[in-house]
Amino acid sequence: MFKLIKTFLSDDTTYYALLLLVLCVGSFGLGRVSVPVEISTESAASVVLTNEAVSTAETVDVELVASVNGTKYHYLWCPGAKQMSEANKIYFANVTEARAAGYEPAKNCAGLE
């Protein structure tokens, strides 16, 4: 069996074709692993809040956050929300509450309408 495999791989064309195939599959796999996972709006309820965020928000049903000084609302995991000072954050349970308070969706937060 080993002799048959060795004979099969001794042909340069076959060897390089298999090597290229292995490299392509490996690269594809590494690319899939390196992509960050986005949290969908359906799983937003399963986001775990830190103790500080829970005590500030006073509820676990918080889904959106905005700044008292800003005009945009964000999901809790968006970059804009992470840059806000805890003292300036206003929490909303849903989009309707945020819009009723006069806030608009942030453009850099994927999934906001």
Tell me the pTM: 0.46
pLDDT at 49: 45
pLDDT one-digit tens code per residue, 28-48: 888 877 777 665 544 444 444
Nearest to 81 by CA among 53, 89, 97, 51: 89
pLDDT at 61: 65
What SS3 state is found at 66?
A: strand
In the chain, where the domains are located: 2-34, 41-105
Residues of the chain with pLDDT under 50: 41-60
CA distance to 2, 3, 4, 8, per residue, from 14 (Å):
16, 16, 13, 7
pLDDT at 99: 92
DSSP notation for 14-67: HHHHHHHHHHHHHHHHHHHHHSPPPPPGGGGGGPPPPHHHHHHHS-S---EEEE
pLDDT at 105: 92
pLDDT at 51: 44
Residue type, 52: E
Taking the C-alpha atoms of residue 103 and residue 67, their distance in angstroms, rounded to an integer, is: 9
